[in-house]
Amino acid sequence: MATAHKIRELIAQTTTGTARPRVPREVRDEVCRYAGRRRKEGAAWAVIARETGLDVGKLQRWNARARPAASVPVLRPVEVVQEPASSKDLALIAPGGVRVEGLGVREAAQLLRLLA
């Protein structure tokens, strides 16, 4: 488990001598793990940025890229079942206050079509 001090050392060791340093993937992954742990503890991005010596925008970008699969919606199988014939628990209320109760889905749909 890396500390903020260790993160700073890793970045310093891997980015020396360049005007626009490129941080290796392994170091970015370690930064993301550290940032994720700190965020779960309730730390703000600005605090984590000060701790690691990186800017907030870079931290947020690295974290967003590190977990793209988690943000993709997952499709789940569903089973479509037919409405039971005895299901009569819908009620329609007209704008004028007229209330029709005890309808099934088909009956409610038919009534709505007739009233349209």
DSSP 8-state assignment for residue 90: E
> What's the pLDDT tens digit per position in 31-54?
899 998 999 999 999 999 999 888
Q: Does 110 score more than 80 pLDDT?
A: yes
Q: What is the percentage of the chain residues whose pLDDT exceeds 90?
A: 12
Supply the pLDDT for residue 111. 85
Supply the pLDDT for residue 56. 92
Say what the alpha-carbon torsion angle 93, 97, 98, 104 is, to the nearest 10 degrees.
10
Structure tokens at 12: 């310093």
Short-list 33, 59, 31, 29, CA closest to 44: 59
Higher pLDDT, 88 or 111: 111
pLDDT band at 70 (very low <50, low <70, confident <90, very high): low
Averaged pLDDT score across all residues of the chain? 81
Q: What is the percentage of the chain residues whose pLDDT exceeds 70?
A: 83
CB 100 within 8 A of CB 91: yes
Q: Which residues contact 17 (CB under 8 A, 6 or more apart)?
A: none
Domain range summary for the chain, segments of one domain joined by +: 4-71, 86-116
Residue carrying the six token digits 């340093």 = 21
Whole-prediction pTM: 0.53
